[in-house]
Structure 1
Amino acid sequence: QQFEKWNDTIASKLEELRNKITRAHHNANRIRLSMTSIGDSGGTCVRTYKPANLEPSTMTTIVLTYAISSQLRDALLFYLPSSSTDDFVAIEMVNRKMRFVWNVGGGLGEVTHPLHIQTAGDLNKDQHWYRVEAERVSNIGNLWVRPVVVPEGSSLRDSPPATNASLAGVGRFDVGPGDRVWVGGADRRHPHLLSTQSGLVGCLHHLHLNGRPIGLWDFSTQNPHSCTACVEGAQEVVDESSYSFAGDGYSVVTHDSSGTYNKYLFSVSLKFKTFDSNALLFIGSGNSTGKYVSLTLKNGRVIFRIGYGGG
């Protein structure tokens, strides 16, 4: 009995420690400071990250915000190699143009965007920041590059992506939980990466992989005394009425019981987009067991269900 009590105490403390670590990672992901290298002579900052939920997939999306105030022309901004195969995806700046490159088993795929990245005279001015978005669907790669702040009516806002493809028929990116994202450099660079500068050049503000933020200050490893903060980058205007979910969370909305309530009438209206073909979109349940209304996706079709209880 004493052993069971001791065992329960240890288990409780371990669970509390895990919760503290989770909260620490969450708080680190919320830090909005940008990242750059220490010193003006070039890049020295190299960091690695271990994103949660890395798994093999036929689709990859990478979004980052970037600016540069020096005259250097190359930078390795994102590099995710597989530890089990030759697969990798990367975004690099080569001679002031963004290049998206990948290998998912069918040989090299690459696409370079024609927009020239200008030197920022003042990083505090939003117009000097760029939004870079790379998307891979199977063997096809798309790359969008534009200023974060785009004047109303500018053709840059809706400009088409630069597009290219690798060998058709092969499109699964084999990565797993043990693989790492590299920013600024790598211990073993793939020979098809063309950026020559070692260390992070410029100022990286935020980084998203497959719709999930990678906290720039929630890193796994870094070169000692090499990275520092720079100014907070420009932000796009966000629709406050829209929310994004990554498959491992949900939102609870409470009903205002003070208003007029008609038990014979219920309606729900929402707009959504998703890559999932099966998902729970909405569920409302009453206090009585078995009573509910739900909206679900099944094989890409929306299904509305009402449960009145009683079997």
Structure 2
Amino acid sequence: MQSTQTRASSGMSDSVCQGVLATVILLCSCSASAAIDYDLPQDEPSRWSGYIGGGYTRNVYSSDSYNAYESFYMNARLGYRTDYGQYRLTVGGEQETLHGQESTFYDPMFEFRTNKYLINDDWSLTASVAAILPGNHYSKLDHFEYAFRIGGYLYWNPSKDWYLYVSPRYRYNDYKYKTSGQRVLTEHRYDVVADALWQFHPDWYLEMTYQHIWSENYYGRQLDDRFFFAQELGWEVSKNLIVAIAHNNSGRFYNPEKGPSQDFEIFDKRSSTFTFSITQYF
């Protein structure tokens, strides 16, 4: 793995570099292959399930720009279902191919998700609790120790072709120190994810995901509200094998306390990425 000092010497400061990579990692996690947060039907229900996938991600900057981002990544999830719910371990990592060709793991997450509670034929809900541990290069530089996340999922299945959910979440981050360099680290994070999947053909789907994030640092200061919007087109090539292309973008609602108010941004060139992925479910 390349050192931060080497990466910064290419013209991107450490704080800017860290922000770009963190945003891209969050974008990748915002839109992986579809059905990851839906229960796939199984011919022979098993206590074990999961997926393994990989892909290629690129933003819109030219290769010689210091803002250019290109990487190959892999991710996987292993789940074990009990009578009360499912335990899930999610891991992954990526290798950049531009500039310093930096590699990093993602922060691994261990989650317990309860069984679905059926409200009626169309509506159901479930709860989730998760622990996130340091794995990412920048998490370790910030002396990140762990995070605790709780959340819920409200599912709506109005027809056999439509799958939707809304998921409110709260995350608490624990760091060894409250600051890293000149940055005050994030302590509390609140976010809401809304997802809609349309299976318009037996082998094809279109999925859209919106995520809105509010956060506070260790000094109680509210940070910029951020949003992420992802669109994905997927094809089931064979049983449980998904090939997908996706576009992710982000923006922010500016906090007047941090600077001049800015308009709502639908497209952020710096964080807009395109992804090609292959995912095998089991």
* TM-score normalised according to structure 2 size: 0.31
Which has the higher relative contact order, 1 or 2, with Cα contacts under 8 A spaced 6 or more apart? 1
Of Structure 1 and Structure 2, which has the larger fraction of its residues in strand?
2
* TM-score normalised according to structure 1 size: 0.29
